[in-house]
Amino acid sequence: MHSKRFDMQHNSHGAITSLIDQEDTDKMNWVINPSYLDKVGYTDSDKLFGEFEIIIGNHHYKSIELKPVLKETSEQLIVKYQLPEATITLNYELINDQLQWQILLQNNTYEPVKITSLGVWCSLAYIMFRDRDVLQNIHRSTAVFPSVAPNFTKLAGMRRDNEGKNMGLFQTAGVVQSVGTACEWTNRFFENVSPSLDGMLFHQLILAGGYPQTKAPKRDWIYPHSSITLTDEMKWSFVLTPFSDQDNFTDVAQHFGHPRITYPPIIIQNQTATVTIEEPTNDLVERIVLRTNVDNEIIERDVTSSHKQNVLTLTPTEVGEHELRITLESGRQDRIVFNVMPPIHQLIQHRVDWLSIHSFEDASGKHPYSFRPVSNQGESLGKLSLILMANLLNPTEKTMAQVRQVEQSAVYYIRQKWFVDGDFGKPASLYGDFYRVMDFEYIGHVYYLLSLFGENVLTLNQPTVYLHWAADVFNLRVNPDMHESQRAKEESQMLGVYFLYIDGLLNDLKAHGMNEDYRLIKECWDKAVKRVATDSQSYKAAITEHFYDNAGFGPATGALANAGYTKAASRYAELLKANIGFSNDFRSQAPDRWWEALSYMIHSLWGGITAASSLLAYEKMGDTELLRGAYRAFAGVLYMYDANATTTDRLLKPGEAASTYSIAGPNINRPDLSRNRFGQSVFAQDGGIFTRLFPDGDTGHDDWDMGEELAAYLTGFGQKAYVYTKADGTLGVINGNLVKLRQDEYRVTSYAPYPREILDVERNRCLKTSSKTVRYNIQNGFKTDEG
């Protein structure tokens, strides 16, 4: 089938196997192709675009097991399935730059029939190709960001190169309950192979049900998973069509009759926030209801009267997830989901105190001087960096005791575990016959932060000793000559989270006259970023242990920008921008990652590091899309520590945390994890590689490998708010609130938990202040109320 814009192919079963935009020079196939599945040994032909599963009464049908009747013309394909209870027809029609897709369900009986589950696969090309040629993953793969609403569901397929050739799916008729995903993957980590991980997600539109019995989320009061009753016929319609960027995605949605809604990703309790709602043509807003859960009771408030001239003003008093349900005069409904949090410094302090009380093991513990849960991966030491960062920014009466716990861990646990006889030049092989070079950047961060405390706080060594240790470990991290194996040499040349502290480390080494350490570190750092900058046209840093990974291109962006390689940084920044989600649900605005949940997910660590990379790149390059993306991403990261969440089965006590949140509902691989927080050890019961990753089974520790992302948050949004110019030319603020006082004069309130700076990057203005509220004049800049 052909149109002016598209070339579409299908298999003998009527599933779509190829959809190519003929204006695309890369000729990307926008749907998952069965020939690639065959090539890598995946057996998922039942999940190709257009296949479905339905449960009618007591009968469970899978389309792959049925024989449809196909009718085809040059621009239309009709696929019809005849069941005893119903006829299911899928109609595809190419019209100009659109693929119009209709699903029709017709009752074949004289009685209403109950459909307890109906899911239709819309498998866009969400693929991590098993290919070291990273360009295929950049140019021929998409991240998929869902916005789920009863009548206005849409999927943004962001091609990973962010060159503006993207694909959106927009709902135009019917009711969609949710969007689920199934994951197919291979991991060869323990074979000492790098890269070792590839896989893909198949997306499914949930039109009814979607979960096996007893496996549906118990607390998710926002997204339904109910049955539907078919009396005569039901119809769902969608359009696939290209879009260029996030703003254009919304423009295209408006063209198809969707409201245009913008909202803040994070709203602070008792602070005023604004939501803009632009109505579709000839379909005005009839009612707006704000819903939240208070003490296990859904509270609904009609806030329609607060909607004036497209602006809805809210001042939420309850914390937790909020659903804003918008009903139009036609009866169609849209929604947004945002989070309301208490002041964030409370979340940080609760976490630090919890770690000190519940996580630290003293000399008599099973793993003396460690912070549970124990992990061989250096990421788990982020807990220690968080404790140190928080106490540097906000000393309390507990600071001395908390820092000394970390010091004991750094000396007696970390050094002895990761290094043979404590020798920083002899890494211990903690993964069978090899070690991970990336572990050392987290160790270096702990030692560097320890060096910032005074002699009156530290007891085991002088601050300069820890500074010297940080230099030794950093050298091991970035110097390939320190390693013998090829894997270790390659990993040492990958950029990592050390971009968060390299400037401070270098400055302090110089200030303390540690000239040899400074020379060695500076040389290694310069070589590392120069090497990555030189290789930036091949995007080599996008490959880590995975064939394509935001743990690679995120830090690459931040490090290159920090080192002044702006041209190379801007190449990787495009991958970052395509990686950070946008959606009507704040949780679906997470950076795109799937491995730890086998589903689209929030991953606390790499969500936070990706966000921090984006923010640092913004500060150096001034691209406001990076600023906005960084803030959206951190909204999901903070959710992993939010004890006020009500929609997840895993509830947290103040100070607890969970490393992973599965966004998709259902997570078809593990339905019990859908829209839930958890630690990755829950996968131990699934066998395979998980039994080796988690030999103790499900440890019950949900905060596995967490902390570094909050330390990263504290280096940026933890201290800073940002004034910027929006696309319409007006002034905006990120991580704060803006009130116009008079022409060109504003009051800016920072939401940073430990305010230190307010910046206007594009005008090269910065005010260092601990005041939460300042004044800003476009001509003259910032000033405090004191002047």
How far apart are alpha carbons 430 and 436 in whole angstroms?
Answer: 8
**Mean pLDDT of the 585-609 span:** 97
pLDDT on residue 696: 86
How far apart are alpha carbons 38 and 744 in whole angstroms?
Answer: 61
How far apart are alpha carbons 709 and 717 in whole angstroms?
Answer: 12
State how far Cα 23 lies from the chain centre. Answer: 30
**Mean pLDDT of the 360-372 span:** 96
**Mean pLDDT of the 669-683 span:** 96
Whether 702 shows a pLDDT value over 80: the answer reads: yes
pLDDT on residue 787: 53
Whether 53 shows a pLDDT value over 90: the answer reads: yes
Side chain identity, residue 169: L
**Mean pLDDT of the 338-353 span:** 97
Q: Is 13 helix (H, G, I), strand (E, B) or coil?
A: coil
Q: Which residue has the tokens 């690679």?
A: 552
- Which tokens sit at 623? 């691209």
Q: How confident is the model at residue 490 (pLDDT cuts 50, 70, 90)?
A: confident
DSSP-derived secondary structure letter, 625: H
**Burial of 725 from C-beta contacts in 10 A (0-12 / 13-18 / 19+):** middle
Question: Backbone dihedral region of 422: left (phi > 0), alpha (psi from -120 to 50 degrees) or beta?
Answer: left
- Which tokens sit at 620? 């150096």
For the residues of 368-411, what is the DSSP string, one character each? TT-BSSP-SSGGGGHHHHHHHHHHHHS--TTHHHHHHHHHHIII
Q: How confident is the model at residue 478 (pLDDT cuts 50, 70, 90)?
A: very high
745-750 and 736-742: which strand pairing?
antiparallel
| 642 neighbors 347 (Cβ within 8 angstroms) | yes
The interaxial angle of helices 708-715 and 624-639, nearest 10 deg, is 140
Q: How confident is the model at residue 646 (pLDDT cuts 50, 70, 90)?
A: very high
Question: Which residues, other chains included, contact 534 with Cβ-Cβ below 8 Å and sequence gap of 6+?
Answer: none
Of 92, 93, 66, whose CA–CA distance to 79 is shortest? 92
If residue 442 lies in a helix (H) or strand (E), which one and from where to where? Answer: helix 439-450
Angstrom CA distances, 521 to 472, 478, 538, 708, 712, stand at 9, 9, 26, 22, 21
Whether 258 shows a pLDDT value over 90: the answer reads: yes
Residue 59 pairs in a beta bridge with: 56
State how far Cα 365 lies from the chain centre. Answer: 35
pLDDT per residue as tens digits for the range 149-165: 999 999 999 999 999 99
Q: How confident is the model at residue 786 (pLDDT cuts 50, 70, 90)?
A: low
Whether 141 shows a pLDDT value over 70: the answer reads: yes
pLDDT on residue 175: 98
Whether 617 shows a pLDDT value over 60: the answer reads: yes
pLDDT on residue 402: 98
pLDDT on residue 785: 75
pLDDT on residue 626: 98
| 65 neighbors 122 (Cβ within 8 angstroms) | no
pLDDT on residue 744: 87
**Mean pLDDT of the 263-281 span:** 94
**Mean pLDDT of the 181-205 span:** 93
**Mean pLDDT of the 638-647 span:** 98
**Mean pLDDT of the 535-542 span:** 94
Residue 93 pairs in a beta bridge with: 76, 100
Q: How confident is the model at residue 85 (pLDDT cuts 50, 70, 90)?
A: very high
Question: Which residues, other chains included, contact 286 with Cβ-Cβ below 8 Å and sequence gap of 6+?
Answer: 304, 327, 328, 329
DSSP-derived secondary structure letter, 670: -
Whether 167 shows a pLDDT value over 60: the answer reads: yes
720-725 and 757-760: which strand pairing?
parallel
pLDDT on residue 214: 87
Which value, in Å, is the radius of gyration of the alpha carbons in the chain? 26
Q: Is 35 helix (H, G, I), strand (E, B) or coil?
A: helix
State how far Cα 619 lies from the chain centre. Answer: 21
Cis before 84 (ω within 30): no
How far apart are alpha carbons 36 and 127 in whole angstroms?
Answer: 10
Q: How many helices (H) and strands (E) does the chain have?
A: 18, 37
Task: Please provide the size of the chain in residues.
Answer: 787
**Mean pLDDT of the 292-302 span:** 97
Beta strands in 174-328 (DSSP E): 178-187, 197-208, 228-230, 233-243, 260-262, 266-268, 273-278, 285-294, 297-302, 307-308, 311-314, 320-328
DSSP H helices in 161-308 = 246-255
pLDDT on residue 81: 98
| 415 neighbors 379 (Cβ within 8 angstroms) | no
Q: How confident is the model at residue 715 (pLDDT cuts 50, 70, 90)?
A: very high
- Which tokens sit at 713? 């948050």
Side chain identity, residue 293: N
Angstrom CA distances, 115 to 215, 223, 231, 336, stand at 18, 18, 11, 27
Side chain identity, residue 416: Q
How far apart are alpha carbons 701 and 662 in whole angstroms?
Answer: 17
- Which tokens sit at 559? 């490090």
The whole-chain average pLDDT of the chain stands at 96
How far apart are alpha carbons 166 and 242 in whole angstroms?
Answer: 5
Q: Is 53 helix (H, G, I), strand (E, B) or coil?
A: strand
Q: Give the torsion through C-alpha atoms of 468, 471, 477, 479, to 10 deg.
A: -120
Angstrom CA distances, 78 to 21, 104, 239, 399, 706, stand at 21, 11, 16, 69, 50
DSSP-derived secondary structure letter, 716: T
3-class SS letters over 79-94: EEEECCCEEEEEEEEE
pLDDT on residue 190: 84
For the residues of 132-197, what is the DSSP string, one character each? S-HHHHHHS-EEEEEE--TTT-EEEEEETT-SS-EEEEEEEES---EEEEEEEEEE-GGGT-SS-E
